[in-house]
Amino acid sequence: MNIINISKQKIFNNRNEVYAYELVFKDGSNHTTGLSDSVKGTSQLIISSITSTELDKLLGPRTLAFINVDDVTLTKGILDVLDKDRFVLNILEDIVLTETVINKIIQYRKRGFRLSLENFDSSAEMIKKFSRLFNYIDVIKMDTALSEPENLEKVMNKFKGTRIQLLAQNIESREDLRKYYEMGFDLFQGYYLDKPEVMEIIGSKEPAQFIILQLIKIIKEPDTNNEKLEFFIKKQPDLSFKLIQFFNSSKRVKMQVKVESLTQVINLLGREKLLRWLMVYLYSEISKNPASKTMLELAIKRAERMEAEADPRNKDKAYLAGMFSMLSSIFETDIRELMNHINMDNDITSLVLERKGIFASSLMRAEQAEKDYLRKVMLANFDKLYTQDLISTLEQSGIEIDKDKI
């Protein structure tokens, strides 16, 4: 079960209403951890947690959430799965602003994300550091404890009345609240208003293979648009991350395309290529079978063989049928349960479950070619095989062993 602790603290507007929550992630020792910590591990779990339906129950369905981001988070595609209408990307004060990072920040703003600056100390150095970004920033979280009064006043005068909202951090008393309210701050945060509360979030519990098969079903539905596909994929963070990785490593990178959204990736890949990638993902990423790599290569060759034999109208369907025909070999789940879960095309379903239909003869030819090759390999290496392994394999295949002849 995926569990992570998240500290939440309320942010109030000048009408004393909850405007948003700031979310801070905690590890098992209750130490603060960032989204970028272990990009493929912790960050994936965190994103999985904060895109789950449980977030709505804990924060409310429409309340904004501030999450801290650094240069690693921004440039690794981790944030691409977030809802731009729900999350404010809170840029840490010590971020390293390379050209790549600045361009990525601007890109996220153009995509519709709100941006904020964390712990802004009102110094000349801080103003200079972020000068190129002020046109894209929505909230400046001003550190009232670290800011010199005269510098704080200057920054207030610079941004007051603009579209940028000013947030007073470190409100520790009634006097602090009154002081910064009278100065004209828009938003307020601090222990006097609300102490951080640690909550436990549980990530998705649905088996990964069912998620992928559901997505395949959605892709095959004739009335599905790309926005619906994006909405579903964004709720599966690991899948989103891997899809963007796949796209970035494909030949299309030579087109110098900068990925701005999952919809863009889906459009550029096309649905058939997306379907084929999902099948590869099923074999190579989700399977726990130690032979899954070999199984994947065999499945691809079988699918390509069946595709080549099919008539032009059914080539894509034949390819999927070939890939689906080997799923039972890598999953412990009953293949009927998998197929019933998605209501796949009848021609594919009948082939996988009953070995019947328009692709049956093509499948049998593919299997015979595979067996002919494997028979040669087995005979050539028979002396290397262990008796117990042979017995186990034969009996699992339903072949009865005459013990008297062993």
Domain assignment of residue 332, yes or no: yes
Q: How confident is the model at residue 202 (pLDDT cuts 50, 70, 90)?
A: low
| pLDDT for position 396 | 73
* More confident of the two residues 93 and 80: 93
Q: Which residues contact 286 (CB under 8 A, 6 or more apart)?
A: 208, 209, 212
* 3-state SS class at 69: strand
% of the chain at pLDDT higher than 90: 35
Answer yes or no: do 40 and 62 share one domain.
Answer: yes
Number of structural domains in the chain: 2
Whether pLDDT at 368 is above 70 = yes
317 and 176 in a single domain? The answer is no
According to the model, what pLDDT value does residue 115 have?
Answer: 97
207 pLDDT above the threshold of 60: no
Asked if the model's pLDDT at residue 28 lies above 80, the reply is: no
| Least trusted range by pLDDT, from 30-34, 387-391, 393-397 | 30-34
Q: Clarify whether residues 234 and 174 are in a common domain.
A: no
Same domain, 358 and 287: yes
**What was the pLDDT predicted at 260?**
65
Same domain, 290 and 184: no
Q: Give phi and psi for 262, each to the nearest 5.
A: -65, -35
Question: With contact defined as beta carbons under 8 Å apart, do 117 and 139 qualify?
Answer: yes
User: Does residue 315 surpass a pLDDT of 80?
Assistant: yes
Query: For residue 128, is it within any domain?
Result: yes
Q: Is 184 a residue whose pLDDT tops 90? A: yes
Write out the residue range of the structural domain in which residue 257 sits: 208-365
Amino acid (one-letter) located at 173: S
pLDDT for 317: 85
Residue 198 belongs to a domain with what CATH number?
3.20.20.450
The residue out of 202, 217, 246 marking a domain boundary is 202
Could you tell me the pLDDT band of residue 39, with boundaries at 50, 70 and 90?
very low
pLDDT over threshold 50, residue 164: yes
Q: Does the residue 42 lie in any domain?
A: yes
Q: Which of 320, 329, 246 is nearest to 287 (CA)?
A: 329
pTM over 0.75: no
Residue 130 has pLDDT above 90, yes or no: yes
Residues 182 and 331 reside in one and the same domain: no
Assess whether 146 and 168 both reside in one domain. Answer: yes
Q: Quote the pLDDT of residue 263.
A: 76
116 within 8 A of 142, measured Cβ to Cβ: no
Structure-token pair, residue 238 = 């690991």
Whether residues 76 and 168 fall in one domain: yes
DSSP reduced 3-state for 47: helix
Quick one: pLDDT at residue 332? Answer: 57
For 337, residues 6+ apart whose C-beta sits below 8 A from its C-beta are: none
- Torsion angle of the four alpha carbons 363, 365, 371, 377, in this order, in degrees rounded to the nearest 10: -120
**57-66, 93-102, 342-351 — most confident range:** 93-102
